[in-house]
Structure 1
Amino acid sequence: MVVDRSDRIGSLFFWFGAHHRHQIHLAETQLTDDGVFLDVGANIGEFTVAMAMAKPAARVIAFEPNAAVRSILLQNIGANSIRNVRCIPSALGEESTMRTLYACDDSALTSLLSFTPKHIASAQVDVLTLDDFVRSQAVDRIDLIKIDVEGYELNVLRGAKESLERFRPSIILEVNSITSRAAGFELSQLFDLLRSHRYQFFVYRRRSWTPVGSELPTQEDIWAQPEERVGRVDKP
Structure 2
Amino acid sequence: MSFVQKTIHFTSEITRKLPKNKFLRKLYKRINWLFLKLGANPIVTAKMQDGSLLIVDLTTRTEREAFYTGIYDEDLIHTLLNMLRPNTTFLDVGANIGFYSVALSNFISKNTLNSHVVSFEPFEGNFERLEANILKNAFSNVCTINNYGLSDEAKTSQITLREDFKHGSNTGNAAIPTGGFLDEGFKLSEIRLEILDEVWTKDFNALPNIDLVKVDIEGHEDFFLRGSQDTLNSHRPTILMEVNKPYYASRGVDLDETFKGLVPENYQVYRSDNGHWIKTESYKDCKNLDNVFIIPEEKLTLKGYEIFNS
TM-score by length of 1: 0.92
Pick aligned residue for 2:132 from 75, 80, 85:
75
Secondary structure at the counterpart of residue 55 of structure 2: coil
Secondary structure at the counterpart of residue 306 of structure 2: coil
Amino acid of the residue matched to residue 86 of structure 2?
D
Cα separation, partners in 2 of 1:19 and 1:118, compared to 1, 3 Å: farther
Pick aligned residue for 2:286 from 217, 221, 228:
217
Q: Which has the larger radius of gyration?
A: 2
Residues 36-75 of structure 1 mapped to structure 2, 5 A cutoff: 36-56=89-109, 57-75=114-132
Aligned to 1:147: 215
Cα separation, partners in 2 of 1:54 and 1:190, compared to 1, 3 Å: farther
Aligned to 1:133: 199
Amino acid of the residue matched to residue 160 of structure 2?
Y
Aligned to 2:73: 20
Aligned to 2:174: 110
Aligned to 1:164: 232
Gaps of 5+ in 1: none
Alpha-carbon deviation of 1:206? Answer: 3.2
Q: Is the 8 A contact 1:101 1:122 kept in 2?
A: yes
Q: Deviations over 1:148-176 (max 9, x none)?
A: 00010000000011011100000000001
Aligned to 1:227: 297
Aligned to 1:98: 156
1:208 aligns with 2:276: yes
Secondary structure at the counterpart of residue 294 of structure 2: strand
| In structure 2, C-alpha distance between the alignment counterparts of 1:79 and 1:22, rounded to whole Å | 24
Secondary structure at the counterpart of residue 127 of structure 2: helix
| In structure 1, C-alpha distance between the alignment counterparts of 2:260 and 2:183, rounded to whole Å | 27
CA RMSD of aligned residues (A): 1.9
Amino acid of the residue matched to residue 22 of structure 1?
D
Cα separation, partners in 2 of 1:81 and 1:232, compared to 1, 3 Å: closer
Amino acid of the residue matched to residue 135 of structure 2?
G
| In structure 1, C-alpha distance between the alignment counterparts of 2:108 and 2:278, rounded to whole Å | 25
Aligned to 1:86: 144
Alpha-carbon deviation of 1:108? Answer: 4.7
Pick aligned residue for 2:62 from 3, 9, 15:
9
Aligned to 2:7: none
- My pick for the range that moved more, 134-143 or 145-154, is 134-143
Q: Is the 8 A contact 2:160 2:183 kept in 1?
A: no
Residues 29-40 of structure 1 mapped to structure 2, 5 A cutoff: 29-40=82-93
Amino acid of the residue matched to residue 306 of structure 2?
K
Cα separation, partners in 2 of 1:196 and 1:77, compared to 1, 3 Å: closer
Moved beyond 4 Å, runs of 4+: none
Q: Is the 8 A contact 1:131 1:163 kept in 2?
A: yes
| In structure 2, C-alpha distance between the alignment counterparts of 1:235 and 1:199, rounded to whole Å | 16
Secondary structure at the counterpart of residue 185 of structure 2: coil
Amino acid of the residue matched to residue 235 of structure 1?
E
| In structure 1, C-alpha distance between the alignment counterparts of 2:204 and 2:263, rounded to whole Å | 27
1:119 aligns with 2:186: yes
